[in-house]
Amino acid sequence: MPECLNKGNKAPHQQPTTANQRLQKALAERERFLNRQPHLRAYQAEIDRVLDKSGNPEGRMAVLGMLLQGKLLDMQRELYKLTKILQRNANSQ
């Protein structure tokens, strides 16, 4: 069974019957998520802008992979900085 973003919903899960209904449900869930995490709206706008230019589904997947890789590299750099701070603090005690 696919994982849902809304973990708090305990109502029985019914599959929408058409692709358009699934899309509408996913877009509504994304909007609820962005309302809870407004700082991510700019990143979502970037994703939407790039995906609009990506063409076919394979191009969209390639773009998503590149975006994810970029964010992972950002996280790796931040983790490296935090590690250095912790090492300095541990060595000064």
What are the pLDDT digits (tens) for 33-69?
Answer: 999 999 999 989 988 998 999 889 999 999 999 989 9
Written as one letter, the residue type at 60 is R
Q: Please count the structural domains in the chain.
A: 1
Inside any domain, residue 10: no
In angstroms, the CA 59 to CA 57 distance is: 5
Cα pseudo-dihedral 36, 39, 40, 41, rounded to 10: 90
In angstroms, the CA 80 to CA 93 distance is: 20
Q: Name which of 11, 13, 20 is nearest 3 in CA terms.
A: 13
Inside any domain, residue 53: yes
Structure tokens at 78: 């931040």
Domain range enclosing 64:
19-92
Instruction: Assess whether pLDDT exceeds 90 at residue 7.
Output: no
Inside any domain, residue 57: yes
Prediction pTM value: 0.58
